[in-house]
Amino acid sequence: MARTSPASIPPAPAATDRPYLVERVGEAAVVQVYADGFRDLPLREKTLIWHLAQAAIAGRDIFYDQRYAHNLEMRDVLEAVVGQEGRQPQAGPIAAVERYTKLFWINTGPYNNHTARKFVLECTPAEFRDLVHAAERRGAAFPLRDGETLDALLDRLEPFFFDPDVDPTVTSKTPPPGHDILTASANNLYVDVTSSDLIGFVEEYGLNSRLVKREGGRLVEEVYRVGEIYGAQIGAIVRHLDAAIPYATEAMAAALRALITFYTTGRRSDREAYDIAWLQDKASPVDTINGFIEVYLDARSIKGAWEALVFYVNREKTHQIQSIAANAQWFEDHMPWDARYRKAGAKGITANAIDVVIEAGDSGPITPVGINLPNDQAIRERHGSKSVSLSNVIEAYDKSTIPELRSEFSWSDEETARATKWSAFAAELTTNMHEVIGHGSGRVSEHLAVSPPEALKEQYSAIEESRADLVALYFLPEAKLAELGLFAEEDHHDIVLAEYEAYVRNALVQLRRVRQGSQIEEDHMRNRQLIAQWLMANTAAIEVRQRDGKTYYVMVDAGAFRDGVGRLLSEVMRIKAEGDYDAARALVERYGVHFDPRLRDEVVARVERLNLPSYTAFVMPRLTASRDEAGAIIDVEISYPLDLATQMLEYSAATRHTRARP
């Protein structure tokens, strides 16, 4: 599947006179992303992007609702309180509400994006009630149901804001013994449905529906499409996409029309037609991803979470990823796995470095750094795939990262120096390889009757992300990369060391994100833990060392590392190709899920001492259209809000009219 979040630790910020790091909110850093190339685009492309950006904002509330059924009401209440407080620094209960609201926006609801765990409002219910009533006296509106008083609304929502034991986990792929992955997950993709209800049930709209158990135990698919669930938002998306078509290239216009058809019917065949049309648009300077795409939110890995991205090609940075795509067949032919799983004609692989102008839903404010689509394995094998590397997001990560995050966990000064010089470069290169030749590669067994996600269920995403990472790690030492001109041959060894060292360090440093419990939920975090722990158990590549009461994961043998990666990759490809659920589950649970909480406590203490963030959220650029008297767009200005709250309140205001009151 289809995305990479940043693993390796980027380098020190270069001297720059514009701000990247906007603020810190608890464990999160808030960073402005810049789209420098936008100003130089022709008006036609700016206008196209403007309409597509409106389509992105129009669907944002869908993902809020998918993630948690109470999210939109909770957001309305929070925004009514903080929206009127201005941007002055506050103390007391209002400070707790502002902090919670920012984390709520960053994570799209009360669940941490990386741990899937609930966080709660850190003031008393009585203090919150006072603030809400004060906001009401100032004229704020609240999402009251028919005949409902404000106090009754607050009573109803109180457990969602304050009780950590009510709906504790948004997605639970490894629930406590005796619990079911669907009922243990608080997301809104299933209502009163357990995994056993699904035995023998055939989903017609797997990707784009919510499954609800009605009275009498009957299962119903509520389809995400025009006129049905999320019909108001999808209708608005369709109108903006329609307005964009006149400004698109012919190939892109065909894809947008296919997307509108899919949003209208919701049918699988129309989604396939859209995927194919989107793949056939290989050369447009502007592109968008808009729909029910990634399946990480669903414990079953079937239901798509809504997201939208709008971006243009970054011509200067696109050489590297295009070289990898152009040589995809060479990599396919040299995969370490069984020849049965090699794709014969690695065709239709498109790749670009891009700058995002907006990301909403499942891709913002916390964004991936690389994307490869479509996720439908059958379409990928027949029609290829498209990859993007999010250049301006990667840049913003680099420029906002604190160098101590790297040095604190490096065993030696040489390791720190290599990381300073190469880890950002190596991370971007391996991200590109992960997307293009990782997710893009391989073919499944002819005996596999269902798709790999259906066969591997809740283990699928961690397995597929492992596969893509392993492909990148496996090929990094290949002389072919220097031959392609991706770097100078004399730097090759240091680049390999920098990436392998960073990968191993990350398995330790990422534990800072999971502050409760002793279990990893997020699939990319699982896959990285899996690979590092497997290498520790099965090769001599990594040593665990202690110094001054601190633990270090030290990569000591790059040859053994690479050899182990090749062996593990062969097995992971076999698991995917054969749909071997038992082997997938054993591998993920043994190496990817559990960790020692004392080790995590040590890592957390080390990052706290240095005040290092655990994850990063991004503020998007703001677009402003100017129009002539007839209403036609005559220019689109780009600016940078440098403020999360301002942007989130603007986005929420823009969709208020599509919100149906219950």
- CB of residue 175 to Zn ion, shortest distance in Å: 24
Closest to 251 in 3D by CA, of 326, 318, 350: 350
For residue 387, state whether it binds Zn ion (rule: CB under 5 A).
no
For residue 472, the surrounding DSSP H or E stretch is helix 460-475
- CB of residue 431 to Zn ion, shortest distance in Å: 9
Contact 199, 180 (CB under 8 A): no
Which tokens belong to 398?
């680099």
Backbone angles phi, psi at 143, to 5 degrees: -80, 65
What DSSP string runs through 153-193? HHHHHHHHHH-TTSS-BS--SSPPTT--TTTT--STTEES-
Which tokens belong to 513?
């994100």
d(CA 246, CA 257): 11
Residues binding Zn ion: what is the number (CB under 5 A)? Answer: 3
Closest to 134 in 3D by CA, of 90, 205, 84: 84
- CB of residue 3 to Zn ion, shortest distance in Å: 5
- Expressed in angstroms, the distance from the first to the final Cα of the chain is 35
> Interior CA angle at 332 toward 356 and 478, to 5°?
85
- CB of residue 177 to Zn ion, shortest distance in Å: 30
d(CA 446, CA 467): 19
Closest to 366 in 3D by CA, of 107, 4, 613: 107
> Which CB sits closer to Zn ion, 4 or 284?
4
For residue 4, state whether it binds Zn ion (rule: CB under 5 A).
yes
b/e burial code for range 176-204 (CB count within 10 A of at least 16 → b):
eeeebbbebbbbbbbeebeeebbeeeebe
> Which CB sits closer to Zn ion, 287 or 469?
469
Give every CB contact of residue 250 below 8 A, 6+ residues apart in sequence: none
- CB of residue 474 to Zn ion, shortest distance in Å: 15
> Which CB sits closer to Zn ion, 2 or 273?
2
Spell out, one character per residue from 396 to 435, where the chain touches Zn ion: x when CB under 5 A holds, - when not: ----------------------------------------
Specify the stretch interacting with Zn ion by CB under 5 A; choose among 3-11, 72-80, 398-406, 581-589: 3-11
What is the DSSP pairing of strand 622-627 with strand 542-547? unpaired
- CB of residue 285 to Zn ion, shortest distance in Å: 25
Q: For the segment 468-487, give every residue that binds Zn ion (CB under 5 A).
A: 468
- CB of residue 373 to Zn ion, shortest distance in Å: 11
> Which CB sits closer to Zn ion, 263 or 534?
534
> Which CB sits closer to Zn ion, 208 or 431?
431
> Which CB sits closer to Zn ion, 100 or 292?
292
> Which CB sits closer to Zn ion, 387 or 400?
387
Q: For the segment 440-469, give every residue that binds Zn ion (CB under 5 A).
A: 465, 468
Give 25's strand partners. 28
- CB of residue 392 to Zn ion, shortest distance in Å: 19
> Which CB sits closer to Zn ion, 60 or 173?
173
> Which CB sits closer to Zn ion, 78 or 472?
472
> Which CB sits closer to Zn ion, 3 or 406?
3
* 536 Cα distance to chain centroid: 28
Closest to 203 in 3D by CA, of 268, 290, 261: 268
Give every CB contact of residue 126 below 8 A, 6+ residues apart in sequence: none
For residue 276, state whether it binds Zn ion (rule: CB under 5 A).
no
Residues near Zn ion (CB under 5 A):
4, 465, 468
